[in-house]
């Protein structure tokens, strides 16, 4: 009898082409899932609905994510990646201080304006998972906190640059700016009130005006007229 266990044949590694195809399929599924979640909420996502949409078997979709919960988390991460690409990174090209903070807010407003008919996963997800602890809520909250921290840093930089008063509380200003976005989403998506984009922008400028450093007073020295 041999002293060594029988050799188990090794599975052939997947070819680069099959790996690439698998990644493309996963990306296509994730794109479709993001579209479903935008209209139906994260709770509206299901392996079955996604399989029907993709013309795939449930087992085929399941193989890429493993569970409905992992699918939801993947959608949250994909949404955050796209949000960063559209809002955060382009704004980083602006100078530090108020120019960058304005760019962040303006791009955020534009993003919300494009989601009026679909919905913001940050906002709808908060409604769905605010009282439901678990990995999906944790992933969603982590993404929102990451975004808020970026805004808080931008506000702090505006203070450092002398554009905002030294006594400015970045968290308070962030709270007020976020409130404008929530009001914009509510009035535009739920109440369908016209002109709310301009109201949000006016609210932002009013907030900035409250915290901005006072402009230099005009000189009171009179020039002596020459005769």
What CATH number is given to the structural domain containing 207?
1.10.357.10
CA distance 41 to 211: 36
What is the model's pTM?
Answer: 0.82
Q: Yes or no: say if 121 and 139 are a contact pair by the CB < 8 Å rule.
A: no
Residue 146 falls within a domain, yes or no?
yes
Domain count, the chain: 1
CA distance 70 to 61: 12
Q: Yes or no: say if 207 and 177 are a contact pair by the CB < 8 Å rule.
A: yes
Contacts 24+ apart (CB under 8 A), 181-189: 181/108, 181/109, 181/112, 182/123, 184/109, 184/112, 185/112, 185/115, 185/120, 185/123, 188/112, 188/113, 188/116, 189/115, 189/116, 189/117, 189/119
Residue 127 falls within a domain, yes or no?
yes
Residue 183 falls within a domain, yes or no?
yes
Q: What is the largest distance, in Å, between two alpha-carbon atoms of the chain? A: 123
Residue 168 falls within a domain, yes or no?
yes
Q: pLDDT tens digits, residue range 197-216? A: 999 999 999 999 999 996 64
> What are the backbone angles phi and psi of residue 43, rounded to the nearest 5°?
-70, -20
> What are the backbone angles phi and psi of residue 212, rounded to the nearest 5°?
-65, 150
Residue 59 falls within a domain, yes or no?
no
The domain in which residue 180 lies consists of 68-211
Q: Residue 206 is encoded by which pair of tokens?
A: 């009013």
Q: Yes or no: say if 177 and 204 are a contact pair by the CB < 8 Å rule.
A: yes
Residue 104 falls within a domain, yes or no?
yes
Per-residue pLDDT of the chain (227 residues; tens, 9 = 90+): 444 544 544 545 555 665 677 788 889 999 999 999 988 889 988 888 888 988 988 888 888 888 899 999 999 999 999 999 999 999 999 999 999 999 999 999 999 999 988 889 999 999 999 999 999 999 999 999 999 999 999 999 999 999 999 999 999 999 999 999 999 999 999 999 999 999 999 999 999 999 999 664 444 444 444 43
Residue 43 falls within a domain, yes or no?
no
Residue 178 falls within a domain, yes or no?
yes
């Amino acid at each position: 009898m041999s002293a060594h266990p029988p050799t188990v044949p090794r599975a052939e590694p997947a070819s680069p082409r099959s790996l690439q195809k698998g990644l493309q399929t996963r990306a296509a599924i994730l794109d479709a899932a993001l579209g479903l979640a935008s209209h139906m909420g994260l709770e509206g996502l299901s392996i079955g609905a996604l399989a029907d949409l993709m013309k795939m078997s449930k087992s085929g979709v399941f193989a890429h994510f493993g569970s409905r919960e992992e699918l939801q988390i993947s959608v949250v991460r994909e949404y955050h990646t796209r949000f960063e690409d559209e809002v955060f990174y382009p704004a980083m090209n602006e100078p530090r201080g108020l120019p960058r903070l304005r760019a962040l807010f303006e791009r955020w407003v534009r993003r919300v304006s494009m989601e009026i008919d679909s919905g913001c996963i940050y906002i709808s997800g908060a409604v769905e998972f605010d009282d439901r602890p678990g990995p999906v809520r944790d992933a969603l909250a982590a993404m929102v906190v990451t975004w808020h921290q970026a805004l808080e840093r931008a506000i702090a930089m505006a203070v450092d640059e002398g554009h905002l008063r030294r006594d400015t509380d970045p968290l308070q200003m962030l709270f007020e700016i976020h409130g404008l976005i929530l009001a914009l989403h509510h009035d535009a998506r739920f109440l369908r009130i016209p002109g709310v984009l301009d109201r949000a922008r006016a609210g932002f400028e009013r907030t900035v005006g409250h915290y901005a450093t006072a402009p230099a007073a005009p000189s009171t020295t009179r020039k002596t007229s020459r005769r």
